[in-house]
Structure formats: structure tokens, C-alpha cells
Structure 1
């Protein structure tokens, strides 16, 4: 992950074209969240998500899914519930 704060006015990722820009008084706007104003911490998290999506896109390509499809399936599909392994106890 490679996210950088530039001159305390922009947050950028070197793996995504998205960025956050300060609009003053701890208010930030993010390129993929139009109409929303965020705190600096929220803007940083948003750009970190954009950075992670670059990895997800690379990982999903070989299995024939888009990043959106893969993340959606992970979120909505039930996991396999496996019983916890039982530990042998000495009597």
C-alpha cells in the first residue's frame, strides 16, 4: 500500500488515480465520493480503500471476476461453517 499526504492538502495513492483534497477546517473531499465531506481520517481511509482495490483487481482477474463482483460475493455469500477442531485432553 502506498498512500501519501502531499503538502497537507492532498492524499494520494500511487496505485490509484483517486485522491482526496482538503477544503479547509478538517474537511476533505474524495474523488470517488462526490457530494460528501469527510474528516482527514475518513479521507485517508477512503484513499486506502482505493489503493487496496488495485490489489483486488489484480487478484480477481485470474478467476474471471471483477473487483466489485468478488467483494460483493465475499460480503453476501455465507461462509462454510466448520466445527472447531476438538483438542485431545489428557485424563
Structure 2
């Protein structure tokens, strides 16, 4: 992921076609957030989020899902009751157990 700032007025990435543009006074607009003016830090985070979505999209393709399906399923709570480390022989310590 390579985020580039061109001439202090344009932010681009090699991972996504989304861009951020300076609108003066420290404000930035991002192509997928119309109507919002952000700080430089917020615009950078927005472009980085777009890059992350591109990465998730590539991984989703490998699983045979869309990007939205992958994110939607991944943010759900795991249906497995116990974390894997507890299932692998480690018993959680509880007060009163010796």
C-alpha cells in the first residue's frame, strides 16, 4: 500500500482509485465521502480505509464471496462458544480450582 501526496493538494494510492483533494484552509474532501470536509489526518485515514477494502476484496475473491459479504460475515460474533486457545487443552483458571 502506497499512499502518495502530490503537490500538497492531492492524495492518491496505488491500491484504490479513490482520492482526496485539498480544498484549502486545512480541509480535504475524499471521493467516496461527498459533502464532507475532513482534516489531513481524517483524509489519510479514509484513503487507508479504501486501501483496506481493496485488500479485503482480493481476499474475498479467493473465498468466492463479494467484499460486502466478507465484511458482513466477518463482523458477526463467532458462533463458537470458546476461543481456540481454550479448546486446545488450556483450561481457563477460575477461583476455587486447584
Distance (Å, rounded) in 2 between the aligned partners of 1:30 and 1:42: 10
Distance (Å, rounded) in 2 between the aligned partners of 1:54 and 1:2: 13
Structure 2 equivalent of residue 5 of structure 1: 5
User: How far off is 1:64 after superposition?
Assistant: 1.7
Structure 1 equivalent of residue 62 of structure 2: 62
Secondary structure of the residue aligned to 2:69 is helix
The unaligned stretches of length 5 or more in structure 1 are: none
Q: Relative contact order: is structure 1 or structure 2 higher (C-alpha 8 Å, sep ≥ 6)? A: 1
RMSD: 1.9
User: TM-score, length-normalised on structure 2?
Assistant: 0.79
Distance (Å, rounded) in 2 between the aligned partners of 1:68 and 1:2: 23
User: How far off is 1:86 after superposition?
Assistant: 3.1
User: How far off is 1:49 after superposition?
Assistant: 0.9
* 21-30 vs 2-11, which moves further: 2-11
Higher gyration radius (CA):
2
Distance (Å, rounded) in 1 between the aligned partners of 2:9 and 2:81: 46
User: How far off is 1:65 after superposition?
Assistant: 1.2
Deviating beyond 6 angstroms after TM superposition, the runs of 4 or more aligned structure 1 residues are: none
Q: How many residues align?
A: 88
The answer on whether the counterparts of 1:28 and 1:37 sit within 8 Å (CA) in structure 2 is yes
